[in-house]
Amino acid sequence: MEIVLITGPAGVGKSTLCWEMSAQLTAAQISHAVIETDELDRVFPRPSSEDLERIRPGTTDVSSINLAAMWSTYRALGHSRLIMSGVMAHFDFDRQWILAAIPDARITVVRMVATEPILLARLARREVGSGANEQAQRSLRQARRMANESADGMFVVPTDGKMPAELAEVVLRKVGWLSMRPES
């Protein structure tokens, strides 16, 4: 079981990269699944620790419960490759809940980076409404924090001036998924 985990600050292009990676794998007839982690905990009200304990003892994050449920379906369908995306601001914690959901996973982490002007320009095209400025500031904080963290064991992908198709091919070749034989 292999996971390519696409991380980086909000607005860096994680979702776009995942969609392009999926398109290239589909064109090459390589089976895979894609999960955006933002959707694993988009619920209101947030479940309490008691709710989570009742559903799955020892679980502290609804994302882990939902990922396990989704992955069990994909695994039953024969999948062994998963592309996931998320900010992953606290990677040690995120690795724990991912492995709690998929214990046999081998995770390759791809951290996307962009310069602040590029990041702000991307966010300006994406974010509208009253929360746009707050999102831009949050994304800059995320980018700065990640820039000061160790990238040991991660594949860092600079995105400035690169098209999604180019980035997807680089990542897929790096992890060896584009060199695989087509599957049924």
pLDDT tens for residues 111-147? 999 999 999 999 888 877 788 889 899 999 999 999 9
Question: Are 162 and 12 spatial neighbours (Cβ–Cβ below 8 Å)?
Answer: no
Q: Of how many residues is the chain composed?
A: 184
pTM of the model: 0.90
Q: How would you classify the pairing of strands 154-158 and 106-113?
A: parallel
Residue ranges covered by each domain of the chain: 2-175
Handedness of CA 139, 120, 108, 145 (dihedral sign): negative
CA distances to 18, 124, 161 from 167, rounded to whole Å, are: 10, 21, 10
Distance CA 118, CA 85 (A): 20
pLDDT tens for residues 143-174? 999 998 888 889 999 999 999 999 999 999 99
Superfamily of domain 2-175: P-loop containing nucleotide triphosphate hydrolases (3.40.50.300)
What does the block give as tokens for 63?
A: 């994302």
